[in-house]
Amino acid sequence: MDAIVVEGLEKTYPKGIRALDGVSFRVREGEVFGLLGPNGAGKSTTVRVLATLTAPDAGSATVAGHDVFREPDAVRGVIGYVAQQSGHDREATGRENLALQGHVHGLRGAPLRRRVDELLDRLGIADAGDRIVRTYSGGMRRRLDIGLGLVHEPSVLFLDEPTTGLDPEARASMWDELERLAREESLTVLLTTHYLEEADQLADRLAIVSQGKVVVEGTPEGLKRQLRGDAVTIELADGRAEDAEAAIRALRGVHEASVEDQLLRARVENGGTAVPGILSALEGRGIGVTSVTMSRPSLDDVYLHVTGRDFRTEDQASADE
């Protein structure tokens, strides 16, 4: 069964900003699904609609089998929502924050206390549980936010930009944490992010969102494979670039090749097996090689490929608006 089904969501904000322009996707039970896109692509709006916070102008959505618009309270009972902006109470302790959230979800007494302890422990903030949140570090606060979304053991967790604002170290440890939590709590996770590495690292499948639409959907590996292979860059020792290009074009498994000064770039089916062949072909013709680098295609390449726009430029441009 699909945990989340989204069909043709459209939403225009009062000032005429078109946030969603027909968003559709499906998330399978138990998977981590990433919505990847630059700032302003409509990711947060999509999540807010699914978390029953706001209504779209058109379209339909179900979460864990419940219709988001007809049974909002049923949806609220089975989802955890962790907003981009943290929603904790800074003037309360971590434990108080979690207990209040649990109370509203109908938990009481010993089971609630056990759950709160368990979460503080799992999130690595057990020692800080009785401290006022104002004294927490950014990473600790973010962990608490995630704990607030998990108190009632939801089956679906929405994470809106979970690591924005964290330093690289805190981000990396948060990634480990999220992977572990998704497994331990047997969650379906819908994650939005504008970090390509984050989607690559965490998502089983992902949809790239641009200007209110899903432009492509698949596994990170599958999407990268569509780019027809790995990039191989060879630095030549002594010119003869045209010869070198001709030599490797003839090889099997090489899709494209181009030269620029001393650099020979090629896209190959599989970098690991293609490189030895390329090197021996060049050696056979007496062409010297200074260095070889091989890179797997990145989601940057995918984004550029499907939208025709550079991800970082677009992300920066929307953030500046």
Partner 1 sequence: MTAVEHTWFMFGRHVRSLARQPVWIVILLIQPFFWLVLYSQLFRRITDLPGFETSSYIEFLTPGIVVMTAFFTGAWNGMSMVNDLDRGIIERFLAIPARRSSLVLSHVAQCSLNAVIQGLIVLCLGYLMGARVREGLLGWLVILVAAALVAACFSGISNGIALFTRREETMIAVSNFIALPLLFFSSALIARDLMPDWMRTAARLNPVEWGVVSARETVQPDTDWGTIGLYFVLLVATVAATSAFATWSFRAYRRTL
Q: Rounded to the nearest whole angstrom, what is the least distance from the CB of residue 28 to partner 1 in the complex?
A: 22
Does 96 engage in binding with partner 1 (CB under 8 A)? yes
79 contact partners, CB below 8 Å, separation of at least 6: 50, 51, 63, 64, 154, 155, 156, 157, 158
Residues 129/94, Cβ–Cβ less than 8 Å: yes
* Nearer to partner 1 among residue 75 and residue 257 (C-beta): 75
- Of 150-169, binders to partner 1 (CB under 8 A) are 152
Decide if 88 contacts 133 (C-beta within 8 A). Answer: yes
- Which of 87, 165, 253, 277 binds partner 1 (CB under 8 A)? It is 87
> Which among 78-86, 135-143, 230-238, 285-293 is the span making contact with partner 1, rule CB under 8 A?
78-86
The verdict on 53 binding partner 1 (CB under 8 A) reads yes
Asked if 175 and 203 touch (Cβ cutoff 8 Å), the reply is: no
Q: How far apart are CA 50 and CA 156, in angstroms?
A: 11
Q: Which is nearer to partner 1, 11 or 171 (CB)?
A: 11
Interface of this chain with partner 1, residues 5 to 24, rule: CB under 8 A: 13-14
Can you tell me which of 5, 126, 132, 292 binds partner 1, judged by CB under 8 A? 132
- Looking at beta carbons only, is 105 or 225 nearer to partner 1? 105
Helices (H) and strands (E) in the chain, counts: 12, 14
Q: Order of strands, edge to edge, in the sheet holding 156-160?
A: 79-82, 156-160, 188-193, 32-36, 205-210, 213-218
- Is 86 an interacting residue with respect to partner 1 (CB under 8 A)? yes
Burial 51-73 (b: 16+ CB within 10 A, else e): bbeeebeebebbbbebebeeeee
Give 71 or 310: the residue with its C-beta nearer to partner 1: 71
Using CB under 8 A, list all residues that contact partner 1.
13-14, 48, 51-55, 73, 76-77, 79, 81, 83, 85-92, 96, 100-101, 103-106, 132, 148, 152
